[in-house]
Amino acid sequence: AKFSLGIDKAITKVTVQNAQGTVTEEFDKTKLSQYGITAKYLAGTTVYVEYTMTVTNNGDLAGFASEIVDYIPQGMTFNSNLNPDWYTGAGGNLYTKALADKELASGQSQEIKLVLTKQMTTENTGLVSNTAEIADDFNIYGVSDRNSVPNNKAQGEDDISTADIILTVKTGETLIYVSAMIISILIGGAVAFIVYEKVLKNKRKGGV
């Protein structure tokens, strides 16, 4: 019999608050999401990203995810009021024991959520990558996980998972601005041409 717990991290909700108001977009457990923010309101915008971590027993033996760690990315902040099951631990990482007493039989899953906040400026748009890992596991047989080591940050193991969000300036605004500039130039050119033709015509009449 084999013991194996895996974790899958995904983004399930993004909430954006600024002078325009509050907008919430929900996702069906996406690994990569993108959100565009109006340039005028970029500075002063607060973004709340909800992550859902699903722990699944991929082995034969029942067991527990005793502790989960989230390696909070630089630029994001943690609010304990939004995350009562989480706490800040060693190295500034986030930890939860919320699933420690939830036994997972073979094939069963349990979920835990985490909400992180990002205060936007005009210079901190781009990719935000967030990784979570099973920091400790347990089963009554004392069998080690067959294909991963808890809390070792080793990519490629099934007990570690990453979800990404790209925060950008809305591209449509740039397109609208450029289009408006082009239209203004064309109108200005047309007006100038009409005036020039009218002046030239008057000069010709005066010469005659």
**pLDDT tens, residue by residue, 20-34:** 999 999 999 999 999
Q: Is the model's pLDDT at 144 over the cut of 90?
A: yes
Report pTM.
0.82
Only one residue has tokens 């300036």, namely 169
DSSP lists the bridge partners of residue 130 as: 163
Q: What is the mean pLDDT of residues 150-174?
A: 90
Q: Is the model's pLDDT at 61 over the cut of 50?
A: yes
Exposed, middle or buried, 6 (CB in 10 Å: 0-12/13-18/19+)? buried
**DSSP per position, the chain:** --B-EEEEEEEEEEEEEETTEEEEEEEEEESEEEEEE-GGG-TT-EEEEEEEEEEEE-SSS-BEEEEEEEEPPTTEEE-TTT-TTEEE-GGG-EEE-TTTT--B-TT-EEEEEEEEEEE--TT--EEEEEEEEEEEEE-TT-PPBSS--TTS--TTSTTEEEEEEEEEE-HHHHHHHHHHHHHHHHHHHHHHHHHHHHHHHHHHHHH-
| Better-scored residue on pLDDT, 78 or 192 | 78
Q: Is the model's pLDDT at 4 over the cut of 60?
A: yes
Opening angle at CA 153, ends 97 and 100, nearest 5: 15
Exposed, middle or buried, 122 (CB in 10 Å: 0-12/13-18/19+)? exposed
pLDDT for res 79: 98
Q: Is the model's pLDDT at 178 over the cut of 90?
A: no
pLDDT tens-digit readout, 97-123: 999 999 999 999 999 999 999 999 999
Q: What percent of the chain has pLDDT over 70?
A: 82
| Better-scored residue on pLDDT, 206 or 49 | 49
pLDDT for res 196: 44
Q: Is the model's pLDDT at 52 over the cut of 50?
A: yes
State the chain's maximal CA–CA distance in angstroms: 111
Q: What is the mean pLDDT of residues 185-201?
A: 50
Phi, psi of 202 (to 5 degrees): -65, -40
Q: Is the model's pLDDT at 168 over the cut of 50?
A: yes
Q: What is the mean pLDDT of residues 47-61?
A: 98
Q: How far apart are CA 40 and CA 21, in angstroms?
A: 13
pLDDT for res 174: 45
Question: Terminus-to-terminus CA distance in the chain, angstroms?
Answer: 108
| Better-scored residue on pLDDT, 177 or 112 | 112
Nearest CA among 110, 129, 117 for reference residue 68: 110
Mean pLDDT, the chain, whole residue set: 88
Q: Is the model's pLDDT at 56 over the cut of 70?
A: yes
